[in-house]
A and B are shown apart, each in its own frame.
Chain A
Amino acid sequence: MHLQAGSSALRLGAAATVCGLLVSLGSVGSVGCSYSSSYTAPTDGRPRVVWVDDSPAVDLAGSQISADCGAELRRITQHETMPTRAGNMALPERYVPSYSFGVGSEFWVPRYYGPQIYIVRPGFAPPLIRPPLFLPSLVRPGSIHLAAPSGGHGGGMGRIGTGGGGGGNVGKGAAILVVLAVSVMPAIAIGLAASTPESPTRSAQAIDLVNAYNDLARSSGTPCSFVGGAP
């Protein structure tokens, strides 16, 4: 009799567990976890990190990466692929002739091409109807020399595994389910609370490659130099 009452309580608990999980997942899902960025990078030739599908990616902004440039980026950042909007772009491994990579003054004075920028309203940046270009002759995006993207974005929330179970009576199965739920739900909650939704590896990769590419593009004589490089 006592055993039967315990079993029904456990069955009730199992149902409550499933309901709890459904409610919590449903509430999170209905609100949506994603942030969709409204930012569109101008085609000005300056690579930058952009936010795509809840993780950062490299936007080349119309610039093209030569094979030598890709190889050099791979050498100095130790990253084999570049996460772009379209997917992961493989960076080649090849010998790059040596070059001098000098950093001159304290700040880099940008070489941009376009009209002189005038301040219209003091304290506010003027609206740039046509964004200045960092490459004087910009080839429109679409043809990148390197290998085609290999696969889409990774990431996403971790999968919640469900145990095998099977066999035995319903009460025993329910008891196992309840014990699992009582112990698993706090673990998942703590894991979600303490973790970061973005992939640290992908973030570091995108940021490293953009920083390195801009350094190389802005310096003269490198495999990624803009025309002529810095004066």
Chain B
Amino acid sequence: MNSAHKAASLLLLSSLATTLGGCATTTYAPRVVARGELTLQYDHGYKMNAGGERIASGLSYSGLDKYVRCVPQAHTHARAAQSAGRTAIALSILGGVIGASGLIGLAGLADTDHLGAWVGGGLGLGAVGLTLAGLSWRFKNHANGNAVDAMNYYNDSVGSLGASCDDLRYPAPAGAPIEAPPVDPAGPLPTDPAAIPALPSPPSL
């Protein structure tokens, strides 16, 4: 019995040690950032910052949907991240608590008359806890993946171009891209509507 308890404690401790230990964090803070640009940080989970402020952090990612609301794709992913994050938190708590309660199965070693009941109960609780905890992994992945997608869709259209949903104004471009020009004797058409010369107005009669 003592050895069984020792083994169980050792397993629990080692499991917790691997869970809590070895948490790497980001060490470089971005300094050259556009006005509404979202940047990532990792410190016991993903954190998203913009303008020197924390916008959202995993797993709940609350506030992200509001920040990226002007980009429909980003908004959809942000909502999905929040939903998955909430589910992941709930499943983690349930899985951990129910899984831990499976240790009552060890009581069967002392109460050998009801060994089957104790062991069966312990195993059942352990299996349910394990299933819920395993499912929480799926939702954690979905929360983080959707949040990173939301950030990228937002930055592509707004953030990295120096705008934000609160103030949707873009700085002027630095110029046109340098590309291999198509062979066209008339020359390429200007892409900027403002650069298109106005057509001569028809003569008035």
Contacts and interface: CB of A to CB of B under 8 A. Distances in A.
Interface stretch (A92-100, A118-126, A146-154): A118-126
A13 B122 CA distance: 10
Interface size bracket, B side: 35 or more
Given A13-B116, A189-B100, A189-B133, A136 B175 contact: yes
A130 to B, nearest CB: 8
A27 B130 CA distance: 10
B103 A211 contact: no
A27 B19 CA distance: 23
Nearest to B131: A24
Nearest to B5: A183
A78 interface: yes
B16 A34 contact: no
B178 interface: yes
A144 interface: no
Nearest to A122: B168
Nearest to B22: A200
A192 interface: yes
B179 A35 contact: no
B99 to A, nearest CB: 2
B77 to A, nearest CB: 8
Contacts of B51: 107
Interface of A: 6, 9-10, 12-13, 16-17, 20-21, 23-25, 27-28, 31-39, 41-42, 44, 46, 48-51, 54, 56, 76-78, 103, 107-119, 122-128, 131-134, 136-138, 157-158, 178-198, 200-201, 203-205, 207-208, 210-212, 214-215, 218-219, 230
22 contacts: A10-B115, A20-B123, A28-B138, A31-B135, A49-B152, A54-B145, A77-B27, A103-B31, A107-B51, A108-B33, A109-B35, A109-B171, A110-B34, A112-B174, A113-B177, A115-B193, A117-B173, A125-B157, A186-B103, A187-B8, A189-B132, A200-B23
